Amino acid sequence: MSLVKPNTPVFTTLSGLVDRVQSGDSLSIGGHHFARVPMALIRELSGRELTDIRYLSWAGGLALEFLLEAGMVSSIDICFSSLDIFGLAPRFRKAVESGKIKMNDWPALALISAFRAREQNLPFLPMQIPEGSSIMERCPAMRPYTDPISGRNIALVEAREIDVFLLHAARADTSGNVEIYGAHALDKTQAGAARKVLVTVEEIVPVGALGRDGRSVIIPRNKITAIAKVPDGAYPCSCLPYYTNDWRALRTLAEAGTSELRHTANRIAQSAPQILRLAAKVPLAKITADKFQTDTIAADAPASIDEIMAVRISRTLDNDSYASAGAVSPLANVAYRLAKLTHAPKMIITTLSGGHLDIAAGPMSLTLVEVMDAASAVQITGGEDTYWTAYQGGFVTHEIVGTAQIDAKGLTNTLEIIKPSGDMLRLPGQGGMSDVANMHRDFVVYVPRHSARALVEAVDVVSAGRGVLTDQARIDAGYRTGDVMLFTNLCVFRFDHAVNQLVVIEIMPDVTRSQIEAETGFKVLFDAGCSEVSMPTAEELFVLRYHVDPLGLRRLEFVGARDRSALIDDVLERDAAATARIVGADVATTPTPNPMSKDES
């Protein structure tokens, strides 16, 4: 079916947009994590009596939670689904674990290729095989193929058409061109692969007013179906340069009980508080580390294990490193910024899945990090650009990520765990990890809480692993040679080709070899030169505590569920206070009930 649309989109209402969604449609969502998620469209859609919606998007997250609660989803095709720092997505987990909804896991590059093929009116596109992973078995669009000219084994990805793409953007002009400010995720490619592109915007401006700030991208009007002006249409998610995330409101939604999500959303004020509007426009120069006052750690306090791990990981980076911050990896993000502020000032860091390229290393903040990264980035891109211009060519050296399971071969599992009872525990997914395990120079993984449940004899499912492993195989594939490493709170492993497994090369302070062996599910081998991890210097600790991570976001990866809520309370309170100091306000980001709102569920 043709993707060609009229040159002039229809201007309508929010309800008028959602009227264009029908039962049986394949549906894709714009934005990324908690950035520019079209929340007004999602709330409106979740109140309709639709069925057999086939969810086809990079991420599930909050949007998918709404649609699952409404009972309208019949299948899920995604790369990843979580609620960021708030943990696993409960409705997604329940849907997949029960087996009531069909689930297909996609490598990010496969999904990008499927959309791009449809946009280019091709039946398929080629891509590198995610070797070392079993993800091809779970992705219905991928087929192995041997190129008859080069003899190279690759994958062909079938085109996938999107029936309806829901997008929230900053502005549209009166002709219907749409402007996205900041990182644009997969929005351009999704819009190109969709029959209907339904957009809400913060404001509508005259022709000629778009794209003046150099931090935005335009989706032309001939790819847009209909537009509605809906101010605060992404709230409580962010939409720069209008407002930042409301993390307290997002937490309220993340913790909403079964069948309470839409009801809870309707009780939260539907407009962003003034402090978040001020935060979205705050000059980069005003976001300084001294505003993140903290009294949690004395300057001379001994290094904690989270600090030791962050510093040790940062030491793997140098001035030639190109590090990409993956989804929900605070420890890695802290390590990147620490390296850039200490011994590796010339390294490149990209955030928001590569959308913010070569950022400055400011303090980690929930409310302000997107503002800082969008303002300081040398280039603003989308997720597809990250693959085409960086990942696939082997330019990226690191994307350090956490995992639920890993075995002695360095094979990881972030898809699902089989409990002793035989029941499944669904995990967030691999995102693009199955791709980049081979593409990046170094495949580096961390496990904050070392145990035999995490370091196992054999992972239940191989979500990612370095299949292109030897130096010669990597050179033949066009990749750089590098290390496979695992960091835990007990030790550091490196893959040793001579014994074909991960080997302990360093041990954390006050940890014994017998302790490591007792807490590991596979046979532990120790390198002949195994030594104790070198402790952080006073300078590294000072920069880490007071300039990189004054809120202590890294701590979120080191606590269990019982302690996590109190820690999130602390982080959110400190983040709100720092934001208020920076923007010169004395108001908080606490979500306020909307007295005009009624329960529409």
> Using 50, 70 and 90 to split pLDDT, how confident is the model at 354?
confident
Q: What percent of the chain has pLDDT over 90?
A: 89
**Mean pLDDT confidence for 227-240:** 97
Q: What CATH number is associated with residue 198? A: 3.40.1080.10
376 domain residue, yes or no? yes
19 domain residue, yes or no? yes
592 and 490 in a common domain: no
d(CA 32, CA 15): 23
Structure tokens at 381: 């891109």
> Using 50, 70 and 90 to split pLDDT, how confident is the model at 524?
very high
pLDDT at 592: 39
135 domain residue, yes or no? no
275 and 220 in a common domain: yes
pLDDT at 586: 52
pLDDT at 390: 93
Peptide bond into 241 cis (omega under 30): yes
The structural domain count of the chain equals 3
d(CA 45, CA 275): 29
392 and 253 in a common domain: no
373 and 392 in a common domain: yes
253 and 303 in a common domain: no
d(CA 492, CA 106): 30
129 domain residue, yes or no? no
575 and 455 in a common domain: no
pTM score of the predicted model = 0.94
136 domain residue, yes or no? no
**DSSP conformational letter for 11:** E
Longest dimension (CA), the chain: 70
CB 162 within 8 A of CB 26: yes
Instruction: Name the β-bridge partners of 29.
Output: 166
pLDDT at 585: 66
pLDDT at 594: 38
Span 411-422, pLDDT tens digits: 999 999 999 898
pLDDT at 599: 37
- pLDDT exceeds 80 at position 597: no
- pLDDT exceeds 70 at position 601: no
500 and 366 in a common domain: no
| Enclosing H/E stretch for 142 | strand 142-146
> Using 50, 70 and 90 to split pLDDT, how confident is the model at 74?
very high
- pLDDT exceeds 50 at position 587: no
Going by their DSSP bridges, the two strands 10-12 and 226-229 should be labelled as: parallel
- pLDDT exceeds 70 at position 108: yes
Per DSSP, the three-state class of 413 is: strand
> Using 50, 70 and 90 to split pLDDT, how confident is the model at 296?
low
> Using 50, 70 and 90 to split pLDDT, how confident is the model at 300?
confident
The CB density around residue 423, as the number of other CB atoms within 10 Å, is 9
313 and 382 in a common domain: yes
182 domain residue, yes or no? yes
pLDDT at 213: 79
Span 7-60, pLDDT tens digits: 999 999 999 999 999 999 999 999 999 999 999 999 999 999 999 999 999 999
- pLDDT exceeds 50 at position 333: yes
Contacts (Cβ under 8 Å, ≥6 apart) of 593: 267, 268, 269
Span 437-458, pLDDT tens digits: 999 999 999 999 999 999 999 9
586 domain residue, yes or no? yes
- pLDDT exceeds 90 at position 487: yes
215 domain residue, yes or no? yes
417 and 444 in a common domain: yes
d(CA 451, CA 454): 5
448 and 517 in a common domain: yes
pLDDT at 270: 82
Structure tokens at 179: 């402007």
- pLDDT exceeds 50 at position 190: yes
- pLDDT exceeds 80 at position 297: no
* Residue range of the domain that includes 527: 401-534
Average predicted confidence (pLDDT) for the chain: 93
299 and 249 in a common domain: no
CB 71 within 8 A of CB 94: no
> Using 50, 70 and 90 to split pLDDT, how confident is the model at 561?
confident
267 and 218 in a common domain: yes
Structure tokens at 286: 């005003």
pLDDT at 588: 43
CA 542 from centre of chain: 28
d(CA 528, CA 198): 61
